[in-house]
Amino acid sequence: DELSKLPKANKCYHSQNGNIRQTSNCTHASDTLTNLKKKFCKIFRDIPTLLS
């Protein structure tokens, strides 16, 4: 079910003059992306600790 939402999320972004712009009806997709980035940052921060 989540996967079926991804193509719709991609349509929210359109390129204009080389900039990625966000349409007003797609803040949720943007928030999800931001949360994923935060999670990945945390994971990558923790990797050295996990490996040692």
Q: Could you state, in order of their start, the residue ranges of all structural domains in the chain?
A: 2-51
Residue 12's pLDDT is what?
47
Integer Cα distance of 36 and 19 in angstroms: 21
Q: Which two tokens stand for residue 9?
A: 């999320």
Residue 34's pLDDT is what?
87
The values of phi and psi at residue 9, to 5°, are -65, -40
Q: pLDDT-derived band of residue 35, with 50, 70 and 90 as boundaries?
A: confident
- Average pLDDT of the segment spanning 11-37: 62
Residue 43's pLDDT is what?
85
With a cut of 70, say whether residue 17 has pLDDT above it: no
pTM of the entire structure?
Answer: 0.36
The values of phi and psi at residue 18, to 5°, are 80, -5
Q: Which two tokens stand for residue 50?
A: 């996990």
The helix/strand/coil state of 12 is: coil
Residue 16 forms beta bridges with which residues?
19
